[in-house]
Structure 1
């Protein structure tokens, strides 16, 4: 005998088998659930039933007592008591009734022990266990049936293929899933029972239902190898499964295979596949199968006719559709009203309204829905008088309803014919028809179109009092109209009522409502409306979220912007560029440096590029706090992948990174800036030019430039030692230009230049030209004239060098053609003030 743990290991967990198996005599140890073993109080009739069995303990008497005992625990105690009595042995029938009673009560765990002891006591028979399986399946106790089937297999009892198919069919019908079906199929294989076509059909069905399409097709291809032939049900399952999984072309191929194999379809095959092909707009296959069905002497039902007629009307093949409709009526089949609706709509799409009218008259159609469809077609074609005449005939025949009148009232309201609409409403009421929500919706929309927002609001209040709701179009019209009339508070009330009834609003009127509420300063209310919109299914586009966030960030509640962001994310909104920029600007204003840096990094990682204002403000903020390193990776992406960085941002980045000690990154950005053709500003030049060599040697000073815009311009520039070698003396050049009171330089502007000579005159010229370019960016034409005039001074100072000749030629050229430039020719008056330390000072006067 196997131990309980061995049984538990052999039974999959998903079958919920937790049997407690005895390994000793049934008479002494019939195991039951601990719940049943508890010292339960005596039931009123328990002792009476025991007494009745003491002198008449026979299997038949015991079965009668068990059947009459409603309490399962009492039945088990009686069964256990009988097992302990001398000269009494349980039979297969007694076991059947106790196992059946336990199973019907849902005590799956107790069944296992009794089944095992039943086999052990050799009081079992295949018929008894099969009967148990049958009883459990018929009472939808599939877990219990699987438990008995498992124990039959375990005891060496070989159930027939019909028993296995019976359980498999129930599992598939109840949609118990793939695992249960596979468990029973494996038990069948263990028992050595060969599958039948029905078995494989059940397996195919569950594979398709669980979206295992490729596995199902593989089983279908191997069906012949398992000694089976596909039948009509097989092809029905495969075609249905393929269409359900959007593989219509494959299903058509299987249909052709079926014909090639000579398989004769059964009626259920036609009833299943024809509507499926029509639903997928595969009309040719549907018609071919319909003809095949009639050739096989099978009678199509109304469901097949309706599917074909609907598909024919969809493809505007109205003649064929009418023929099928007449054939269906001649067969005395009562089709759904939608059949006539489809035909009427088909005629109307072809512009054959008269034919549609004639069809309803000839066929004596007295149903309302086809006539309402005809009314809609007439109104859509702007044939109002014809629609009005049809409505009067419908009213005379008493086949009109509220929808019939509402169709015409809606048409009039949409064309601003409110007087005629109210007249028609009066006739509707006289006809004993009570206006419904659709009537009020049409009138609300009509009043909104005429800007009668108060009247529309009053109609809505009447609708509200009846606990009705507006249709989606009228709802949008009312909200949009109230917003245009600046009645935002009234619009909020309408929106709240409709949202509570799970009615969604179109995006445009909702945006108008949110903007209006925000402009009134009711930011908290706007946030609440966003939550209502989400719960009611209203589509909240980014524009609404962004507008609320923008106004929230500029209000006194700006600190709550991150809480609003959380709400956006919970609602499933994806932040766009504008949202990120608003968020970053708000965090900058709150001086939350790390947060705004984090959002920029997230933004750039998503491939979004901030606008120039946001990026400039962020860079300025981070540079001020020396924390540009927080966005270094994002800056690299922006510099290489976008054009958002301008010269001003480059200057901020270069200066900021230099101050933070990231000098290599600063130089790299300078290179990128120069490649773009931008000239660094004075501060950036002063910070970087000539610093590389000095930084390596630890010598020299950084350049310093001071540009004044009030009294004049003063440029002081310290030159590095040439080639890294110590200079004989320090090089300094100072140019001062005075301004006129009106902002221009005086005609006789004064300047002074002092230069301490070094050993490399070429370097001198280069650096002087740099100063000149710096000045040109920040000064006017008068100042620039003074700087140009200073060039010969430098030439005279370094006359002893051959390169001075070139410099003098340049100056002469500039002076010669000065009239072509913006400064006049001026004489230079040079005065030697001092020769000490080879320092020369010159004063030029125009």
Structure 2
């Protein structure tokens, strides 16, 4: 396809946009400063470089992927020089914004085009619609398309070729169909891939009649149907339970390809119609249309139902038909044995396949790992996991969690940590419960520093903390050596909208008070204690006493007011602190009596309760 740019623009030795830009700025800089700068710039630029040349620079910048900053440098200086952008200029700007991920800014430029005396053309709408679809904003892209129709803008060929598949991919079959018909009515050359995209979308939405009509139209125009079209239509029939229609469709078109036949086999097996699947397999085998995948489809179906005996019968017929079992066959057998609870048999098949260098898929291995963990065969499960890791494959999150939990229960926490690291290196994403399992084991072993190191790794790996994970981590960090980290973590927890349970809150408050760090979490405590489900007089007493001892009397008063609003009376020890009858040990080792004075709420806290509290103290 011929390039839209002149030969000079396509040169890779020196980017033309740079050389033209240099000439442009040199001419502006040499202008007589006594003249009007804008007029001088326009006059000079007109003699040196035109709007079309500026557009060529901008197109080259986009084409060569020079980046947003380089593009904007040229664009801004072009505007400053008085060269008024046209629709092609703005198309380049919108395109570079979309490629840079600034879709909202691109939309803003799109909506402001009329203010710049520019009318969007087909390319403008194509760029914006494609960007919105790629960003998952399909409904907005449809709105933009409707605006295009209202403006009477006629789509060009490139628009149809790009937008129809996008609408189909995102399940906008009505819009895709309408565009397709518009393309036909405008006499534009139709493409097989467009038919394929539309047929696939129609089948996905159970519009089989429309899909078949389109398929027949394709044949009438002399196009050769793609294999994927047959597969899509067969899958559509199977999805609706119309297996007879699917067989008739394949027979009438005299299909001599295997994939559509395999699609029908899968359809039978998906609804447990194994007898019909077996009969159809024999039929296509006689016609020479079966392959190893055809046999494996039925073998896998029997194994998924835990019927390994029938699967072996199919394997025997497969061998008679000159097909030898492959990796998919053995993977299916392993799954079958796991479904029957025969994990020893499954392990034997796995080892046999491993000896003969046959790869067992990760799905079957994951099922075997889960089964072995279930029967406490942790060592063998670890062996299989390491086999998969050596192949660069991952396991399911569930099987990884069971394996790590099993190692922790066996006291092999270091092995669990190694397996977790190995899993992450192979693309596994660990569940929060997986981390929690290791953290709890490290906590029981009193290895706080290891907990801190693992937590750092979790953050680097992008682990999303949930409320249960915060609870485990807070329990882990509430020690003398990591109490500061606990304060930071508690603030972070509350900031993200998580509320701890009462037991965790009491543990945090007690340890923070002991370490005189309540003032570091006072704002978070206020939010938590105000929460309806966690109002506790005991916690409030500890907070008030602790804040007073730390020298934060005003903050203590706020919690005291909260107690009074809830109708609670502080305990005798807190009373004594508040009225100055108890010594408060300060950080410098001295003692000082604190007399709370000030506002009415504070001065009247024990109008009725003070005498009772004092009597209790005297009695004690």
The alpha-carbon distance between structure 1 residues 602 and 302, as it changes in their structure 2 partners (threshold 3 A), is: closer
Aligned ranges for residues 133-532 of structure 1 at < 5 Å? 135-141=7-13, 143-144=15-16, 146-147=18-19, 150-151=22-23, 158=48, 170-177=60-67, 205-206=95-96, 208-210=98-100, 211=103, 212-214=105-107, 216-218=109-111, 220-221=113-114, 225=117, 233=123, 236-237=126-127, 239-240=129-130, 243-244=133-134, 246=137, 247-257=140-150, 260=152, 263=154, 265-465=155-355, 469-532=359-422
Assess if the C-alpha contact under 8 Å between 2:513 and 2:546 holds in 1: yes
Deviations 1:434-467 (A, max 9, x none): 3333222211111111122122223223444465
Equivalent residue number for residue 604 of structure 2: none
CA-CA distance at 1:272 after TM superposition: 3.3
Q: Is the 8 A contact 1:609 1:642 kept in 2?
A: no
Structure 1 unaligned runs (5+)? 1-132, 696-700, 704-762, 779-846
Contact 2:407 2:416 in 1 (8 A): yes
Structure with the higher fraction of residues in helix conformation: 2
C-alpha change, 1:311 and 1:620, in structure 2 (3 Å) is closer
In structure 2, relative to structure 1, the CA distance for the partners of 1:616 and 1:507 (3 Å cut) is same
CA distance in 1, matches of 2:417, 2:302: 38
The whole-number CA distance in structure 1 between the counterparts of 2:613 and 2:441 is 51
- Bigger CA radius of gyration: 1
Contact 2:370 2:402 in 1 (8 A): yes
Equivalences for residues 709-788 of structure 1 within 5 A:
771=615
Instruction: Give, in whole Å, the separation in 2 of the partners of 1:324 and 1:238.
Output: 29
Change (3 A) 1:391 1:636: same
Are residues 267 and 588 of structure 1, via their aligned partners in 2, closer, same or farther at CA, if it must alter by over 3 Å? closer
Q: Which moved more, 1:662-671 or 1:415-424?
A: 662-671
* Matched-pair contact (CA < 8 Å) for 2:17–2:56: no
Q: Report the Cα distance in structure 2 between the residues aligned to 1:502 and 1:213, rounded to whole angstroms.
A: 41
Alignment partner, residue 534 of structure 1: 424
Over 3 Å counting, the alpha-carbon distance change for 1:235 and 1:546 in structure 2 is: closer
Aligned mates of 2:311, 2:146 — CA distance in 1: 57
Cα deviation, residue 138, structure 1 = 4.2
In 2: Cα distance, 1:682 partner to 1:184 partner: 75
TM superposition shift of 1:178: 5.1
The superposition leaves residues 120-160 of structure 1 with CA deviations (integer Å, 9 ceiling, x where unpaired) of xxxxxxxxxxxxx9554344445156416754896876567
Bigger relative contact order, structure 1 or 2 (CA pairs below 8 A, ≥6 apart): 2
Secondary structure in structure 1 of the residue aligned to 2:530: helix
Query: How far, CA to CA, are the matches of 1:525 and 1:617 in structure 2?
Result: 30
Farther off after superposition, 418-427 or 532-541: 532-541
**Alpha-carbon distance, 1:628 to partner:** 5.1
Indicate conservation of the 8 Å contact 1:197/1:231, yes or no: yes
Q: 1:75-128, CA deviations, whole angstroms, 9 ceiling, x for partnerless residues?
A: xxxxxxxxxxxxxxxxxxxxxxxxxxxxxxxxxxxxxxxxxxxxxxxxxxxxxx
Q: How many angstroms apart in 1 are the aligned matches of 2:90 and 2:123?
A: 10
Change beyond 3 A, Cα 1:163–1:383: same
1: CA distance, partners of 2:515 / 2:120: 78
- Cα distance in 1, alignment partners of residues 613 and 73 from structure 2: 90
Deviation per residue, 1:742-797 (Å, 9 max, x gap):
xxxxxxxxxxxxxxxxxxxxx9x99689758998xx9xxxxxxxxxxxxxxxxxxx
CA contact (8 A) 1:504 1:533 kept: yes
Report the Cα offset of residue 269 of structure 1.
Answer: 4.0
Q: What is the CA-CA distance between 1:230 and the residue it aligns to?
A: 6.6
Once the 2 structures are TM-superposed, how far is the Cα of residue 480 of structure 1 from its aligned partner?
A: 0.9
Structure 1 Cα separation of the partners of residues 287 and 440 of structure 2: 61
Q: Distance in 2 between matches of 1:239 and 1:682?
A: 70
- Determine the C-alpha separation between the residues in 2 that align with 1:341 and 1:347: 10
Name the SS of the counterpart of 1:304 in structure 2: helix
Aligned counterparts of 2:227 and 2:352: Cα–Cα separation in 1: 34
CA shift for structure 1 position 419: 0.9
TM-score, normalization by structure 2: 0.78
| Aligned-partner Cα distance in 2 for 1:768–1:190 | 81
Number of residue pairs matched by the alignment:
569
Quickly say closer, same or farther: Cα 1:616–1:151, change in 2 above 3 A.
closer
Deviation per CA, 1:286-331: give whole Å up to 9, x if none: 3333333333333422122112212221222211211111121222
Give unmatched runs, 5+ long, in structure 2.
28-43, 584-606
* Residue in 2 that maps onto 1:840: none
Residues 17, 58 of structure 2: 8 Å contact kept: no
SS in 2 for 1:276: helix
Report the secondary structure of 1:551's partner residue: helix
Q: How far did residue 367 of structure 1 move?
A: 1.3
- Residues 647 and 381 (structure 1), Cα distance of their counterparts in 2 relative to 1, 3 Å cut: same
User: Within 1, Cα distance between the matches of 2:143 and 2:283?
Assistant: 51
Q: 2:452 corresponds to which residue? A: 562
| CA distance 1:159–1:349, shift in 2 (3 Å) | same
Q: CA RMSD in A?
A: 4.2
Note closer, same or farther for the CA distance 1:646–1:332 as it changes in structure 2 (3 Å cut). same
Q: Residues 244 and 356 of structure 1: is their aligned pair in 2 closer, same or farther, counting only changes over 3 Å?
A: same
Q: What secondary structure, in the 3-state scheme, does the structure 2 residue paired with 1:137 have?
A: coil
Give a deviation string over 1:341-398, Cα, whole Å, max 9, x none. Answer: 1111111121111101110110011111111111111111211111111111222222
Distance 1:460 1:136, change over 3 A: farther
